[in-house]
């Protein structure tokens, strides 16, 4: 079964120090709160986070607006510094995300400007997630459910196997409307509990396609299933609990194309020999057979 954690960036994984904004405004001689008020003007912000304008164009628009209102203020450097602030990651939330990755695909889903990917590099977050969905790339923002559905498809998980974590209740409500599990982030402790419940609860698996990889004692090593979203045939540990498979092949949910770097079809009868060739010391080193039509 493929599962996906769809997690928000700002307000969940990323924090920004409010003193940065206050310091920028004070040094520039701008009224408190003026930079964000101009930047978050609904029409301007929507243009920025749907990719109709770039980060630089967004900043320029804010500079022009504030310069017109406050001609004596040193606006340009203040806006550049404020809106260019990358912030920092919450280490406790990041630890929760890292703990999920052995069990589910992690997809970052953010309403963001064209600078998102550069920010992720600067924050060192790219190695902690499997996929990134940016509203600036899609041209649509959360809570539009199309954003969440796109993230689920990118992650290869059906909606009922997705957990959406966001600090906006409207987003988690939209997730639940399309059959996903939603958690509105308030604190790390509550997030840990929500993730643990999501990972441990029983959920229906994908449709079986009638093939098992068995060891000589007829214990199930791998099950072949069909992804309900993409239709791809996947070999996966039964119930997601076969830790031996995870140790020998550092993967979560995978296809043979990914493991072998090949595009040719792998027939069930060849699986045992391929397992031994790919990871000779694995628990399948003496795998006896592939059982066809074993599942209904």
Residue 88, pLDDT score: 96
Q: Which domains does the chain have, with CATH numbers?
A: 4-14+89-200 (3.40.50.1000), 17-83 (no CATH), 207-292 (no CATH)
Cβ neighbours of residue 176 under 8 Å, at least 6 residues apart? 182
pLDDT tens per residue, range 214-239: 555 555 556 666 555 555 566 665 54
The SS3 call for residue 161 is helix
pLDDT at 103: 87
pLDDT of residue 2: 81
Low-confidence ranges of the chain (pLDDT < 70): 1, 202-296
Q: How many Cα atoms within 13 Å fall on the side-chain side of residue 89?
A: 18
Q: What's the whole-model pTM score?
A: 0.67
Q: Give one DSSP letter per residue of 16-83, joined into a string.
A: --HHHHHHHHHHHTPPTTHHHHHHT-HHHHHHHHTTSS-HHHHHHHHHHHHHHH-TTS-HHHHHHHHH
φ and ψ at 276, to 5 degrees? -65, -35
Judging by beta carbons within 10 Å of its beta carbon (0-12, 13-18, 19+), is residue 160 exposed, middle or buried?
Answer: middle
Predicted confidence at residue 199, as pLDDT, reads 86
CA 111 to chain centre: 13
Token pair 């694995």 is at which residue?
A: 282
Residue keyed to tokens 């790919």: 278
pLDDT of residue 214: 58
Contact between residue 274 and residue 268 where contact means Cβ atoms under 8 Å apart: no
């Amino acid at each position: 079964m493929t599962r996906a954690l769809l997690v928000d960036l700002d307000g969940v994984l990323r924090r920004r120090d409010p003193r940065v904004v206050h310091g920028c405004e004070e040094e520039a001689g701008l009224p408190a709160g003026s930079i964000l008020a101009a930047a978050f003007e609904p029409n301007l912000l929507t243009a920025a986070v749907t990719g109709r304008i770039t980060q630089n164009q967004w900043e320029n628009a804010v500079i022009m607006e504030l310069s017109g209102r406050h001609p004596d203020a040193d606006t340009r450097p203040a806006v550049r510094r404020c809106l260019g602030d990358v912030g920092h990651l919450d280490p406790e939330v990041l630890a929760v995300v890292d703990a999920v990755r052995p069990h589910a695909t992690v997809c970052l889903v953010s309403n963001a400007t064209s600078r998102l990917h550069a920010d992720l590099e600067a924050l060192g977050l790219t190695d902690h997630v499997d996929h990134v969905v940016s509203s600036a790339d899609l041209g649509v923002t959360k809570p539009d459910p199309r954003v969440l559905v796109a993230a689920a498809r990118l992650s290869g998980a059906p909606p009922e196997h997705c957990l959406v974590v966001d600090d906006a209740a409207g987003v988690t409500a939209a997730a639940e409307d399309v059959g996903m599990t939603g958690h509105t982030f308030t604190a790390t402790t509550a997030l840990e509990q929500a993730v643990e419940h999501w990972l441990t609860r029983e959920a229906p698996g994908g449709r079986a396609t009638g093939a098992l990889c068995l060891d000589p004692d007829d214990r199930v090593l791998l099950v072949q299933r069909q992804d309900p979203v993409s239709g791809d045939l996947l070999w996966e540990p039964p119930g997601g609990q076969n830790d031996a498979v995870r140790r020998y092949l550092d993967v979560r949910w995978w296809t043979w194309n990914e493991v072998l770097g090949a595009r040719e079809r792998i027939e069930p009868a060849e699986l045992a020999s391929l397992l031994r060739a790919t990871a000779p010391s694995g628990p399948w080193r003496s795998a006896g057979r592939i059982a066809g039509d074993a599942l209904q």
